[in-house]
Amino acid sequence: MIALTLDEIVVATAGVLHNSAGDLTVSGSVQTDSRMVTAGSIFVAKPGAETDGHLFAPIAVDQGAALLIVERLLDLPVPQIVVADAVLALGALASHVVAEVRSRGRLKVVGVTGSNGKTTTKNLLRAIFEGVGPTVAPRGSFNNEVGAPMTMLEVTDDTEFLVVEMGANGVGKIATLVKLARPDVGIVLTVGLAHAGEFGGIEATVTAKSEMVTELLPTDVAVLNIDDPRVAGMAGSTRARVQWFGLGSPNEVGVAFVRASDVRASRAGTSFTLHLASGEHFPVHFKVLGEHHVMNALAAAAAAESLGVAGAAIVAALESVERAERWRMEVLGGRDGVTIINDAYNASPDSMTAALKTLAQIREPGQRTIAVLGEMAELGALAGEEHDRIGLLTVRLNISQQVVVGPAARRMHISTINEGSWDSESAYVDTQDEAFTLLCSIVKPGDTVLVKSSNSAGLRFLGDRLGEFFS
């Protein structure tokens, strides 16, 4: 974090200072986890669903915390700022820091949201911007009212690019993050059924995701997916200049300024021609597996170009990225030609469909494909029919073998066998251990195995286990 006096932090957080240390200036990291505190850190005692951060404040002090932001005064011998709400104070402090750095430097802020692809796009943006100047981007999926401010607080006076991933579980959440970060560029990737149960339906999801662009200024840029009608419709809700991205097929909106043509997917990645708004075009060999990730590459390219990054630098960065993220289309294995694709960090109907289509696309003549599928969580009332639909899709894509894991996903197995075109090609097991034993017995040399589920189903660990076994 940039150096701030206690008085500046008090004003930013609307708190009350206790145990004042005179003209103390703080410039250490800001942490909500006492285990991450180092000498000079600020520890924010955030109440949580399972425990209370105030209980860990003594540990933070022992670790060297210079300042505590708390909701009640603690009997500890360090300066403390008492605030009404620690999470709101964290966000306010982050907003103040970003505004300060922006006012005296070259900082540009990019916000990213969408039902799918946020983390991949964030990683691609980091790769692009790091080739140009000092960049801050989230670790993992830091995209909520705590994670996004934590990322923002990492900026320094030297930072030129800040990427903020913005997720939400309801209307109003993204608007809050946008007001904190004030992006120069706001990206909306997709609006799908991911978390639809939490939002209360697809229309509420549209409203929530559109908050990314409704707060943008006329001098800002809204990077919108022209191929998603729900996202394209957001153009009428923003004052910002719209930069379209898409796969190039004309529709009622027009043609994307940043687009891909000649898209070809293989086990080695996806190749395509990148067309930029400048009129330049470049061949790209994108190592990230899956044609659907081309859309994330286009979004990143559109945002970077709008901030003045040269086309050649964009392409070099895209080609340098080896994988989307841990447990996202991660290629493992290799022994006897067996490929394990571990894509079990998140799953929605859209991302499940995209992963299965990739599995079918990269199959070479004579090769078998195996889909190991678990629950798609947070779908609410849509869960049953969406699991049914995925079960039918595996048949229609001619996937060689399906293994469904866990009671919450069992409807995929039932709908598959009810389709009538398969006999033993679909199997159901209750546990990961059963799945591992079964797969070790049925996987043959040359097979490609996709492991896909929501994070809560935990199949990413099964994917790792298979990857190690077949390495």
Annotated binding site for ATP: 114-120
Tokens of 306: 């709008």
Q: Which residues of 415-448 are buried (b: 16+ CB within 10 A; e: fewer)?
A: bbbeeeebeebbbbbeebeebbebbeebbeeebb
Binding residues are 114-120
| DSSP per-residue codes, 362-416 | TPPTT--EEEEE----S-GGGHHHHHHHHHHHHHHTT-SEEEEESGGGHHHHHHH
At residue 235, the 3 state secondary structure works out as: helix
3-state helix, strand and coil shares in percent for the chain, rounded to the nearest 5: 40, 20, 40
Beta partners for residue 108, in sequence order: 161
Report the C-alpha gap between 465 and 53 in whole angstroms: 35
User: What burial class does residue 49 get, using C-beta atoms within 10 Å of its C-beta: 0-12 exposed, 13-18 middle, 19+ buried?
Assistant: exposed
Tokens of 182: 């004030």
Report the C-alpha gap between 369 and 28 in whole angstroms: 50
Tokens of 150: 């934590």
Which ranges in 21-85 belong to alpha helices (H)?
57-63
8 Å CB contact between 36 and 47? no
Tokens of 64: 């060297």
Residue type, 203: E
Tokens of 87: 């999470």
